[in-house]
Structure 1
Amino acid sequence: MQKFWTTTLVALALSACASDEHIVSTAQLTVVDTAQGLPVPTRQDLTAADRPSLIGPLDTIQVDVFNIPDLTRELQVDASGRIAMPLIGAVDARGKTAAELGQAIEAALRGRYVRKPEVTVNIKSSVSQVVTIDGQVVEPGLYPVTNQMTLIRAIASAKGFSEFAKQDDVVILRTVNGRRMAGLYNVAAIQRGAYEDPAIYANDVVVVGDSPQRRMFRDIVSVAPLLAAPLVALVQ
């Protein structure tokens, strides 16, 4: 009897959550069929003329300190967005322009070591173009886009799905030729080989949907024994 009421409660909860809202095309957004796939962004889509280049994890930069050869060097930004400079130690570079980082290094040197430092920073190579991974993943955030990044690899970068992730409701948002587009993907189907794992490009936004059914199931399972106990007592 207890099993009967538990099953009934779960069925009712799942039926109540059965209607999900799906992403639809609007004047500002074009939803692309999964079979067709999202178009590849153009070079203009990957950069913005009004947005300065920002330093990020794994970028390679050149730091030149005028008249101090021992401090002039090529550095790679580490995964946490920092560089290590002689005398001053770790400096946070992430999210700074080259000029801003140069000013930060000048300030650190001026405080203790160099009377009038002149620092120039140049970005030599950048892999810091990022994808935004949001929604029901373990660690949402910005992640560097490297060669051959795909949807599944992007989710893995964010430590995988969270407890309430809806694997058949994963959206990739992308700008192509200035037009905002979206594709809805089923990661479980990709893993089964139903269709190819789509490529991820810089400036993409990946949003993993939330499953109300999973949340309700957990809640119902946790309270079902308490709800069923009085009913069992009545029929005994």
Structure 2
Amino acid sequence: MILPGKLQRMRPLSTIFLVATLLTGCATPQPLTSTPQLTVVDTNGVLPPPDRGDLTAGDRPALIGPLDTIEVDVFNVSALSREIQVDASGRIAMPLAGTIDARGRTAAELAEAIEVALRQHYVRNPEVIVNIKNSVSQVATIDGQVNEPGLYPVTNQMTLMRIIASARGMSEFARQEEVVVLRTVGNHRMAGLYDVAAIRRGAYPDPAIYANDVIIVGDSPQRRLFRDIIAASPLLVAPLITILN
């Protein structure tokens, strides 16, 4: 027979056991092993240096969008060279060239469109160079359990791990195995589910992130349960520290 006093003393111990079990399940690391996509070098081995091609990202065209700032240089016609902000509808306006749709074009494609427009207004053999000075349209959104959710610029080298790092990493309640990337492809909404812990182990490559992607980092109920137990039972902190040490 369990006396009431003993029962009260057993409840904190059972709660400590539950929390310790949760922590053990969350903290158990999986071993790093070689796969067809990953070669694990042992402690006595040396990682080889990367090739030159490994140090550069694959070509990903930078597209011009609304409110981007571009620099237009017309060779030998300094009066036409200028810095222009694309308007909210994705268009620019230039003397002699008129209004040109810049949205969704690369810098080289827009330069060619400006040259065509200038030829139509009697500018002989125009040579135009366009550079993207500041892009606000090429961004991805990251939300959920990260420390600084928001909009982040997308470059050739942007990947899932890089944008999480840009957001100052995952929060304490993040669920690493539940990271969703939402993307529109051909007017069709698609979603990919990723496991960041598996990517860190090298189980599969770090996926590329593109402009207009939305990344959502999931929430871990187990971590919240642990926080709530500690908050509700301050007397458990000392026994927990003893168990964990």
Query: Could you tell me the TM-score, scaled by structure 1's length?
Result: 0.51
Provide the residue aligned with 2:224 in structure 1. 215
Q: Larger RCO: Structure 1 or Structure 2 (Cα < 8 Å, ≥ 6 residues apart)? A: 1
Provide the residue aligned with 2:167 in structure 1. 158
2:70 to 45, 60, 66: 60
- The correspondence of residues 1-236 of structure 1 with structure 2, limited to 5 A, is 4-8=13-17, 10=19, 53-56=65-68, 59-61=69-71, 73-74=82-83, 96=88, 124-126=130-132, 127=135, 128-226=137-235
How many equivalent residue pairs? 155
Deviation, structure 1 residue 176: 1.7
Residues 99-125 of structure 1: CA deviation (Å, up to 9, x unaligned): 7x99xxxxxxxxxxxxxxxxx999744
Cα distance in 2 for partners of 1:98, 1:199 equals: 26
Cα distance in 2 for partners of 1:166, 1:199 equals: 20
Q: Does the CA-based 8 Å contact 1:6-1:221 persist in structure 2?
A: no
Cα distance in 2 for partners of 1:95, 1:156 equals: 31
The 4+ residue runs of structure 1 with deviation greater than 6 A are 120-123
Amino acid at match of 2:217: V
Deviation, structure 1 residue 201: 1.0
Cα distance in 2 for partners of 1:206, 1:226 equals: 39
Residues 150-187 of structure 1: CA deviation (Å, up to 9, x unaligned): 10001111111122111111001112222211111011
Structure 1, gaps ≥5 residues long:
15-42, 64-68, 76-92, 103-119, 229-236
Cα distance in 2 for partners of 1:140, 1:151 equals: 14
What's the Cα RMSD here?
4.3
Amino acid at match of 1:55: L
Aligned to 2:218, the other structure's residue is in SS state strand
Cα distance in 2 for partners of 1:142, 1:197 equals: 20
Amino acid at match of 2:66: L
Q: CA separation of 1:157/1:225 partners in 2, compared to 1, >3 Å: closer, same or farther?
A: closer
Q: CA separation of 1:166/1:97 partners in 2, compared to 1, >3 Å: closer, same or farther?
A: same
Deviation, structure 1 residue 143: 1.2
Deviation, structure 1 residue 62: 5.2
Cα distance in 2 for partners of 1:157, 1:125 equals: 25
Cα distance in 2 for partners of 1:226, 1:172 equals: 41
Deviation, structure 1 residue 191: 0.7
Amino acid at match of 1:53: G
